[in-house]
Structure 1
Amino acid sequence: MSSSPRRPAVVRRAPGKLFVAGEYAVVDSGNPAILVAVDRYVTVTVSGSHTPGVVISSDLATHPVRRRWHEGRLTADGAQGGGRPRGGPVHVLSAVETVAGLLAERGLPVPELELSVVSTLHEDGRKFGLGSSGAVTVASVAAVAAYCGLELSRADVYRLALLATARIDPKGSGGDLAASTWGGWLLYSAPDRGFVLDLARERGIEAALRAPWPGFAVRPLPSPAGLSLQVGWTGNPASTASLVSDLHRRTWRGTASHRRFVATTTDVVHAVTGALESGDGPGLLHQIRRARLELARLDDEVGLGVFTDELRALCDAAEGAGGAAKPSGAGGGDCGIALLDAAAPQDISYVRQRWAAAGVLPLPVRVALEGIQQ
């Protein structure tokens, strides 16, 4: 790797996300989901380093992580051998490796790097469930690429981030990456990650950036008319990867019940899309309630633990005030969302009080209309 002269530091930040509809079904390529970006951010600063390889510091870690290059990969000590200790910030490491792979294909050097990561998607080290892994991957890709002189479109940033995360766990849908990249309200369907990984391995990262990706689609949606998005945190972190992996191991997949879940969820997502685009607030609330019921049916049949006592209380409080609510994402903790009448602040205040009494922390977040940014 290169020890070229140090350049000015580059800063990029990416917003977190919330799932509005389509959880679990979206992990299968081509199935749609709706997400919204929120104004909690991961900020990555990239600068040059006098230390060989890459140094990563984070406000969530007590010590910097140092890695050296070996055959295009970042290792704990640069040593040869089959086993490669990862540890540390795996999503940041994979993001750096992926950008470095593109630089190598273009015949460009990779300078020695220092990355500093600051996140507002956590509290006292506990994650809110707002897509911190996706946000840090997107911000790292964009910051490292910019520091190294690569001019990337938003689509390029998303694709590199998807490659980086799929190398860690190909089951993730990448919806968090899309929200962090484009911002706002989005209709999203995931690409075939196996196809994408094979394409990058066989033809290179450059080819993977330019080729069509089966199943992938993304487009912006308008914000809901007359409704206020409220977010509550249960205080219990949950692992999306673990819950999705658990579902993959169940014999439920491929059954008639699974097919019904995907069909109903897809219908809900299309109906939510139509309600958003037509400004149909009551119709949107009805579909969010349908989404909650379908997730509850999944939970009852498969026993994943999607709904906790706190998430049930969150949903019941919102529906008691005439709104609609559901877990956001995999459930099992983390956040729930509610849509409430924006013209009835007393109802919003009432719901937030009910949440607090049930141990749910109302989060002061708003929609982030812009994705990755300087």
Structure 2
Amino acid sequence: MKDVQVTTGGKLYLAGEYAVLTPGQTALIHYIPICMTAKACLAQETKLSSDMFAYSVDRTFDCNYQLIQASIDTFEAYSGQTLPDFELSITGKLERDGLKFGIGSSGSVTVLTIKALAALVDLDLSCDTLFKLAAYTLIKLGDNGSMGDIACIAYEKLIAYRSFDRQKIAEQITTSDLESLLDQDWGYEIEVLTPKLRADFLVGWTRQPAISRDMIQAAKSLIDQSFLKETEKNVQITKQALLTADKESLKAGLQKISDLLEGLSSAIYVDQLKALKEAEQGLDVIAKSSGSGGGDCGIALSFSPEASRELIERWQARGIELLYQEHWIEVRDDKP
């Protein structure tokens, strides 16, 4: 009996959150390799289980397992064959002490399920196909998120993601078959980025839950053309700074984006995220909230080991936990 095991990680926004909900806007999103795991094998009958729930199901509709079941339906439609009976087990809730990290999402589960089934039937999927299948699944279920989280998780890299018109694709789902829809250009762009400057990428976990869906909707309602224009401008500045090792432009771009988020809604920078941001003072560091804000995680880029150590100590003193740290090395372009 064939057994397979696959993983997917999480994601955090460097820049462009909220704005990227508008089609055509760009966000920079970083892969976080804190993983969920799926194990699958052929079986006598189909059994789906997740450590999120205290029971297992088959493919009979269950509201708690709806996302997993819909992902299975999508993969089956894509593969063009009825899947044999199998067992699928998902573990890793991306949380601690019952508190979510805020780095994962429904997108993580969708990508993970599709990856596991592809491995089970020996079907190679490109990152782009994996992204489209997961996005199709969520859009079909009524999700109108930017799909940037799925793009990052599917590619497992730091990416620049330009969002597409999800409403247009949602309408086409009702009139087109999956194969023809996958062949279309949806209008998104996904560019894998390799930072070229020496820095520590740090994730601070506030242990506070993120702001509610209602508060997110309230913040979204305040987005105007000025916010979109200024955010896009500074996302592009930040992207170029990453690619050209321009530390000062990188810090300036991220600072402006942080200011724009703070100006958008007072709900984004709550006390712990303010503390996470203020800990940069006097250090060669730039920090900001990440994602919807109001809690969960913030990020920082530190440009010296001494600054990293001091920042971490300041965070710890305020009850902010270092969740993840990654060292970027300087990349020099070869010159003739």
TM normalised by structure 1 equals 0.82
Q: Say whether the 8 Å CA contact 1:261–1:294 is kept in structure 2.
A: yes
1:366 aligns to what SS in structure 2? strand
Q: Paired residue for 2:9?
A: 15
* Pairs within 5 Å for 1:76-95: 76=62, 86=63, 88-95=64-71
Q: 2:197 aligns with which of 222, 225, 233?
A: 225
- In 2, the alpha carbon distance for the partners of 1:144 and 1:96 equals 8
Letter in 2 for 1:202: T
Unaligned stretches of 5+ in structure 2? 329-336
Q: Paired residue for 1:323?
A: 285
Q: Paired residue for 2:186?
A: 213
The structure, 1 or 2, with the larger RCO (C-alpha pairs under 8 Å, 6+ apart) is 1
Q: Say whether the 8 Å CA contact 2:198–2:327 is kept in structure 1.
A: no
Q: Say whether the 8 Å CA contact 1:43–1:136 is kept in structure 2.
A: no
CA shift, 1:217, in A, is 0.4
- In 2, the alpha carbon distance for the partners of 1:33 and 1:55 equals 38
Unaligned stretches of 5+ in structure 1? 1-6, 69-73, 77-85, 369-374
Alignment of 1:178 with 2:151, yes or no, is: yes
Query: What is the aligned length?
Result: 328
- In 2, the alpha carbon distance for the partners of 1:346 and 1:164 equals 45
Letter in 2 for 1:186: I
Q: Say whether the 8 Å CA contact 1:16–1:40 is kept in structure 2.
A: yes
Letter in 1 for 2:307: D
Q: 2:41 aligns with which of 47, 56, 59?
A: 47
1:173 aligns to what SS in structure 2? coil
Q: Say whether the 8 Å CA contact 1:49–1:112 is kept in structure 2.
A: yes
Q: Paired residue for 2:76?
A: 100
1:88-135 C-alpha deviation (Å, 9 max, x unpaired) = 2443222112112324xx3x1122232111226221332101124222
Q: Say whether the 8 Å CA contact 1:39–1:365 is kept in structure 2.
A: no
Change (3 A) 1:171 1:118: same
- In 2, the alpha carbon distance for the partners of 1:203 and 1:213 equals 13
CA shift, 1:49, in A, is 3.1
CA shift, 1:224, in A, is 4.9
Q: Paired residue for 1:28?
A: 22
* Pairs within 5 Å for 1:1-374: 8-51=2-45, 54-64=46-56, 66-68=57-59, 74-76=60-62, 86=63, 88-103=64-79, 106=80, 108-119=81-92, 121-214=94-187, 216-238=188-210, 242-248=214-220, 250=221, 252-253=222-223, 258-300=224-266, 305-341=267-303, 344-366=304-326
CA shift, 1:286, in A, is 1.3
Q: Say whether the 8 Å CA contact 2:41–2:86 is kept in structure 1.
A: yes
Q: Say whether the 8 Å CA contact 1:227–1:339 is kept in structure 2.
A: yes
2:34 aligns to what SS in structure 1? strand
Q: Say whether the 8 Å CA contact 1:226–1:281 is kept in structure 2.
A: no
1:34 aligns to what SS in structure 2? strand
Q: Say whether the 8 Å CA contact 1:189–1:217 is kept in structure 2.
A: yes
1:318 aligns to what SS in structure 2? coil
1:210-243 C-alpha deviation (Å, 9 max, x unpaired) = 11102x0011112251221111001012267555
1:276 aligns to what SS in structure 2? helix
Change (3 A) 1:239 1:89: farther
- In 2, the alpha carbon distance for the partners of 1:89 and 1:356 equals 37
Q: Say whether the 8 Å CA contact 1:227–1:281 is kept in structure 2.
A: no
**Aligned Cα RMSD in Å?**
2.1
Q: Say whether the 8 Å CA contact 2:200–2:325 is kept in structure 1.
A: no
Change (3 A) 1:320 1:339: same
- In 2, the alpha carbon distance for the partners of 1:244 and 1:208 equals 30
1:161-219 C-alpha deviation (Å, 9 max, x unpaired) = 001122334321111111111122110012211222232331211112111102x0011
- In 1, the alpha carbon distance for the partners of 2:215 and 2:78 equals 32
Q: Say whether the 8 Å CA contact 2:130–2:154 is kept in structure 1.
A: yes
Letter in 1 for 2:47: V
Q: Say whether the 8 Å CA contact 1:11–1:44 is kept in structure 2.
A: yes
Q: Say whether the 8 Å CA contact 1:240–1:329 is kept in structure 2.
A: no
Letter in 2 for 1:130: I
Letter in 2 for 1:295: L
Identity within the alignment, %:
29
Deviates further, 192-201 or 203-212: 192-201
1:302-333 C-alpha deviation (Å, 9 max, x unpaired) = xxx11110000000002332311111101011
2:287 aligns to what SS in structure 1? strand
- In 2, the alpha carbon distance for the partners of 1:15 and 1:126 equals 17
CA shift, 1:28, in A, is 1.3
1:203 aligns to what SS in structure 2? coil
- In 1, the alpha carbon distance for the partners of 2:327 and 2:291 equals 16
CA shift, 1:339, in A, is 0.7
Q: Paired residue for 2:333?
A: none
